[in-house]
Amino acid sequence: MTRPDALLAQLQRSDAARPRITCYDDTDGPTNGERIELSARVLSNWVAKAANALQEDYDIEPGSVVLLALPPHWRTAYWALAVWSVGGCVALDADQPADVCVSDDRAVLADFVDRSGAGAGAVLVTLAALARHADERVGDGVMDEAAQLSTYADQFDAWAEADDDDPALVLDGDPVGYAALSSWAGQSELRQTEGAPRVHLSTYDTALFLRVLVSAWEADGSLVLSRGEPDVETVAARLVSEGVTHTL
C-alpha cells in the first residue's frame, strides 16, 4: 500500500495529465457554478508551493501538527498532500493542539491564534478558484494564501522524511501512522476494480473526503466532488458526463 507522502509521485508516474480531482460547486455563495479539474501535474505544483510554505515559514516536519479546518474541496486536497509531503500530521478537529491552522474561516483562525498564543501559524484560504487575495484585510501574522502562495517554488524537497509509525492523521484524538493511512481510508472495493475508478462523492465531511480521495488515488483513480446539495437531475447528468464508475 502507498504511503500518503508518495501518492502524488505514484499518480504522476501513471499519468500526469489525467484529471485526478474534479470539483463542482453547488453551494449557495460566490463560488456557485465553479467547475475545477486538476491533473496530477497541476496538483503537484499546488502541493509543492504549500509544502514549501509549511517547511520554510512554519518549520513543519515529522511530529508537527497542521490543523486543516477546511471543507471538502480541491484546495483541501493539496493542503493535506503538502502536510504529508513535509512529514507532518493532519488534524481535522478544531480543538486539536496544532502548530499551524489552515482555514477558510477567519473566526476559526482567530480562535486558534488566541488559544495557541503568539507565534502560532495561521493561513487564510480563499476557496474561489480565481481569487488573487482575500476579500478583506487579513490579521497580523496570518498568511493570505490567495496572495502569497504563488510566490513559493513549484518544486519541493523535504528536509526530513516521516517514519512509518509517525502520525499522518489524527481524528477524534486517535493518531493514524503513515504506513496505516491506506488501511484507515478503506474503500477496498475501489482497489479491486478493473481499470481506474472514477468516484463521485457529495459530502460535508472532510474526513470522509480524505478517505475516499486516498483510496481512489491509491487505485490510480480520480474523484468527482460535488459541493453543496445538487438536485437529483444535476447529479445524474454529472455522473454520465464525468464517466463516474462509483458513487459513495
Cβ atoms within 10 Å, residue 98: 26
Cβ atoms within 10 Å, residue 34: 17
CA distance 41 to 223: 16
Ranges of each domain in the chain:
4-247
Is the predicted pLDDT of residue 71 greater than 90, yes or no?
A: yes
- Single pTM value for the model: 0.96
Pick the more confident residue, 189 or 185. Answer: 185
User: How does pLDDT run across 197-234, given as a tens digit for each residue?
Assistant: 999 999 999 999 999 999 999 999 999 999 999 999 99
> In this predicted structure, what is the pLDDT of residue 191?
64
Do 7 and 83 meet the contact criterion of CB atoms below 8 Å apart? no
User: How does pLDDT run across 110-160, given as a tens digit for each residue?
Assistant: 999 999 887 789 999 999 999 999 998 898 889 999 999 999 999 999 999
Of the chain, the percentage scoring pLDDT greater than 90 comes to 87
Is the predicted pLDDT of residue 109 greater than 90, yes or no?
A: yes
Q: Which residue has the cell 478503506?
A: 186
Domain 4-247: CATH superfamily, name plus number:
ANL, N-terminal domain (3.40.50.12780)
CA distances from 41 to 18, 51, 72, 196, 231 (A): 9, 15, 21, 18, 32
Pick the more confident residue, 97 or 118. Answer: 97
Pick the range with the lowest mean pLDDT from 13-27, 147-161, 175-189.
175-189
DSSP H helices in 99-148:
106-116, 145-148
Q: Which three cell numbers, joined as nine digits, stand for 104?
A: 477558510
Cβ atoms within 10 Å, residue 25: 22
